[in-house]
Chain A
Amino acid sequence: NAGVMQNPRHLVRRRGQEARLRCSPMKGHSHVYWYRQLPEEGLKFMVYLQKENIIDESGMPKERFSAEFPKEGPSILRIQQVVRGDSAAYFCASSELAGVNEQFFGPGTRLTVL
């Protein structure tokens, strides 16, 4: 059973470009969480999605950031018009059920904005 997959592992964008980060949850998992890790900081919750639904987006910046988890395919975290402050590691986690069930983390996507 493959673990959580994220791609790309490293992404370089220039200011103003768009970044698309992909997350394929573990097989059988329908709950996806996105977290951001800024340099020298812990992980910060961004958004929680179930298939086709955003359940909790309380950690998402109000502008430029969006997330989706379609019925088919991976979850996508999209950052429009990136700025240098968006440079961070973005981690996806998945779980089989909601609530206290263990979240399995992917290896992360390291975004660098030039």
Chain B
Amino acid sequence: QVQLQQSGGELAKPGSSVKISCKASGYTFSNYYISWIKQTTGQGLEYTGYINTGSGGTNYNEKFKGKATLTVDKSSSTAFMQLSSLTPDDSAVYYCAREGAISFDYWGQGVMVTVSS
């Protein structure tokens, strides 16, 4: 069955970076994009961007350019999102989701990132 398994929660200091992962299984990894979504109580759901898992090409929401960097390791069917120059506003739950013929049909379980000194 399709699964997107995300890495564990992160506690990070302001100004630092974190890299979270999303490991796919149960389907052909390179046939689907992986998108990333930020969820907070205040702002709701925000689309960060996607990575073409076949070519490595990326597309970022303007709001997250310079904040998020999306990469992929095809050998392990894993997508990554690095968040840099962290501030408390980056504290959120981050989800990965598969995007293909049916957009956002499967989601990872989410990763809570907490930015605090």
Q: Do A and B bind each other?
A: no
Binding site for B on A (CB under 8 A): none
Binding site for A on B (CB under 8 A): none
